[in-house]
Copies of this chain bind each other. A is one copy, B any other.
């Protein structure tokens, strides 16, 4: 499948490498291609593009940009390049303006995922993977042999089904469909607990399992 990954940080690099390893045709999109040259030298199956080239390439597009800059990055990617596509939003609206621990730039009665969906109404936004660190996103079996949950939120059932298949290809066993995209308010807010779990355990190789 042709996949475009927007972003140049650890999350975008990790997702691009994993998707390429799984046989997909991946372009990673950045404002500054030079930042990715070193990384690409050991990930030659992934091509580098602008945000717009990357979005145009993908049948599925992944938003792995910083949450605070996601709306502007997606605007640069272009409405016409995102229309009628699935956009997997793995970002978090973290606000580091007062340092660590972060707060969120949007919260409670709205979410970044919903802001993106409103800005790109022709795109099918699916929120997922934002509750775990980059390595766990793509290698869930490395935490407790995969005995933990990833959440998925979105308004389009078929889009969630396709994203679920991608998650399974990463190794995810327990995929929890929370419902429509407004449920991303829950997973985005959870980040404020996640940063405290990270602080207490001194590792990001963690996740939660829903018990009942």
Contact = CB atoms under 8 A, between A and B. Distances in A.
Contact-size category for A: 35 or more
B147 A108 contact: no
A90 to B, nearest CB: 16
A94 to B, nearest CB: 10
B209 A209 contact: yes
Contact of A189 (B109, B190, B205): B190
B109 A143 contact: no
A189 B187 contact: no
Minimum-distance CB pairs A-B, first 8:
A103-B108, A186-B193, A186-B196, A189-B192, A144-B211, A208-B208, A148-B211, A189-B189
Interface of A: 95, 98, 101, 103-104, 107-109, 143-144, 147-148, 151, 176-179, 182-183, 185-187, 189-197, 199-201, 203, 205-212
14 contacts: A101-B185, A103-B108, A143-B211, A144-B211, A147-B211, A176-B197, A176-B200, A178-B197, A183-B200, A189-B189, A189-B190, A201-B210, A205-B212, A206-B212
